[in-house]
Amino acid sequence: MFDKILIANRGEIACRIIKTARRMGIKTVAVYSDADRDAVHVAMADEAVHIGPAPAAQSYLLIDKIIDACKQTGAQAVHPGYGFLSERESFPRALEAAGIVFIGPNPGAIAAMGDKIESKKAASAAKVSTVPGFLGVIESPEHAVTIADEIGYPVMIKASAGGGGKGMRIAHSSGEVAEGFARAKSEAASSFGDDRVFVEKFITDPRHIEIQVIGDKHGNVIYLGERECSIQRRNQKVIEEAPSPLLDEATRRKMGEQAVALAKAVNYDSAGTVEFVAGQDKSFYFLEMNTRLQVEHPVTEMITGLDLVELMIRVAAGEALPLGQADVRLNGWAVESRVYAEDPTRNFLPSIGRLTTYRPPAEGQFGGATVRNDTGVEEGGEIAIHYDPMIAKLVTWAPTRAEAIESQGEALDAFAIEGIRHNIPFLAALMAHPRWRSGNLSTGFIAEEFPEGFVAPEPKGAIAQRMAAAAAAIDHKMNQRKRGISGQMRDPALLHFERDRVVVLAGESYPVTVDAVGGTLIVTGADGTTWPVSSDWRPGEPVWQGEIGGTRVAMQVRGLLNGVALQHAGAAAEARVYTQREAALAALMPVKEDVGSGKQVLCPMPGLVKAILVKEGQEVKNGEPLAIVEAMKMENVLRAERDATVAKIAAKEGDSLAVDAVILEFA
């Protein structure tokens, strides 16, 4: 076994690998760029080596810098994590030449499977069912259109070296093929240094299901069940679960056996994932193979009880797999939510800045459920523009799917982040969504269920009652503080106006009566319904946790002038608690409305202007592209929202803009 390994990565996956290595008694070496000098993974590792400036192309993607760091520290092996150099064939070859072990598959397997075009050829030769498409390299937009016309629409344009949703576009017409081809090539070149793309048929209403495989250097390969990854946005996974609610045991076995046969055909000898696109009728087609550890590997670990990072390290050191296929048992259900630095209310555009608050939910076992949070950030840390916007992966396990979803929803409600925009409200709303809870999934789920984008819903029904009860409890706690001020001459018991309150939540009034009985608060609604409320919450804490009506509840709390902003189960609302007279007067107060001119195109996120596609004086039509802004490795096309004339262009190609900076103005 190795004495010391180097992790050629950053963020949460570097921290994840360090945890396993530490448990195995293996020392770790971190590498870091200028932007990551104070990162969590650097502090966690036994040693750390600086490898260059912030851009990945000048640091994390430089093989020579990684090898030099190994030589400086005496690291015997390298774990690449995912992304960066993890699927680049030249990396393990260079490590081997330097006498360093690669904790991943052999270069031949990466060459055969890591390249999307070559992997489809290999799968076809192995008689694995594949999606109809053109397996050659496409040279021009015109060539792409010709191929797409032959295959039939819709089609998927994909980077050959791609991953993570980058260099990927769906096209429904020849015009979209030409534009998608250009964007996919550009993103592929900047993200992977390889601009080759190919085209394949896009299966309508598909599901994304993948099989985890693990092999050793002795010819053994097994599969560890499947993961359902159908909840995607811009082809990037948002929520994953294991097992899949679609599959039965027979289909699972067929997919697993195909995945193993494909892995054995290329002598696969590490952890890898064979991805399939599946129809609602349980038909499935090979999509691609990721020759690395997947972002979503924790859900497989939770239902199998196996540590995939440990298995990767052991097989890299030459050990045989400690179990066979018959030993694999799937137990319970696991759900993972990817917490991203992005604004779901602004079309999920990336957000950067400092984490002024970062309080994840407590990890461990709670009742029959388990909560796990894989992260690489801490409070006070900065989310930089140079890397993927992932903040954390929140994972819950429970005996059943419904219980795992309930646990995930509660954990999301207890996850407090401030200083940047994030997608926790969206994830919490998904957990409460009836279609998600029913398991009726497809990769079009988000586009179909949120066609106008995401707006946090106002609370209704039981959710509104819980939020009103919590608001009354928070107000009571604040009043308790005031009653504790010394020098007052007043009755310590609740006064009449303190008992009879009106909670105004999202504009709706909820008259309540508040009574303190021991350590429990009894909140009684106008209809006579009583809600016993108990909590250890203290003013200033960003999360209120306790029990309401016998149900365990968490909700996020942010102070407002004369009130609090609450977020629970995906719903968000401002809450203010008044006396009855105050409530009557507050209802008469005018509400100030925000008015926007609509005559400017603003930069939706901090980013780099890649292209300005119009000129001053040009007339543009609704939907016409105006500019391209790149942030966090993704190119975002800004389009006109109405017919207009461009009056002034305020930015130029190459400019780095802040959020809401003016790009151009209309007449």
CB 660 within 8 A of CB 596: no
CB 580 within 8 A of CB 511: yes
Please give the Cα distance from 618 to 246 (Å, whole number): 51
**Whole-Å CA distances, 150 to 129, 179, 185, 197, 199:** 20, 18, 21, 17, 11
CA within 13 Å, CB half, 625: 15
Of the listed 210, 288, 406, 630, which one is catalytic? 288
Paired residues of 272 in beta bridges: 213
CB 557 within 8 A of CB 543: yes
Closest to 556 measured CA to CA, from 420, 389, 383, 357 = 357
**Whole-Å CA distances, 189 to 167, 195, 633, 635, 645:** 8, 4, 10, 12, 33
Please give the Cα distance from 92 to 615 (Å, whole number): 48
CB 159 within 8 A of CB 192: yes
CB 164 within 8 A of CB 388: yes
DSSP readout, 27-86?
Answer: EEEEEEEGGGTT-HHHHHSSEEEEEE-SSGGGTTT-HHHHHHHHHHHT--EEE--SSTTT
Closest to 127 measured CA to CA, from 268, 304, 261, 239 = 261
CB 255 within 8 A of CB 243: no
Paired residues of 163 in beta bridges: 166
Taking residue 228's Cβ as centre, other Cβ atoms within 10 Å add up to: 24
CB 653 within 8 A of CB 615: no
Please give the Cα distance from 529 to 538 (Å, whole number): 26
CB 180 within 8 A of CB 234: no
Q: Dihedral sign, CA of 58, 60, 66, 70? A: positive
- Local structure of 123: helix, strand or coil: helix
Print the SS3 string covering 187-231: HHHHHHCCCCEEEEECCCCCEEEEEEEEECCCCCEEEEEEEEEEE
DSSP state of 633: T
Please give the Cα distance from 580 to 599 (Å, whole number): 44
Pairing of strands 221-233, 207-215: antiparallel
Place of tokens 């690395």: 292
Backbone angles phi, psi at 296, to 5 degrees: -90, 15
Place of tokens 């040693």: 47
Based on its alpha-carbon atoms, the radius of gyration of the chain, rounded to whole angstroms, reads 27
**Dihedral angle of Cα 352, 238, 21, 289, to the nearest 10 degrees:** -120
Place of tokens 């092999």: 215
Residue 142 a catalytic site member: no
Enzyme catalytic residues: 288
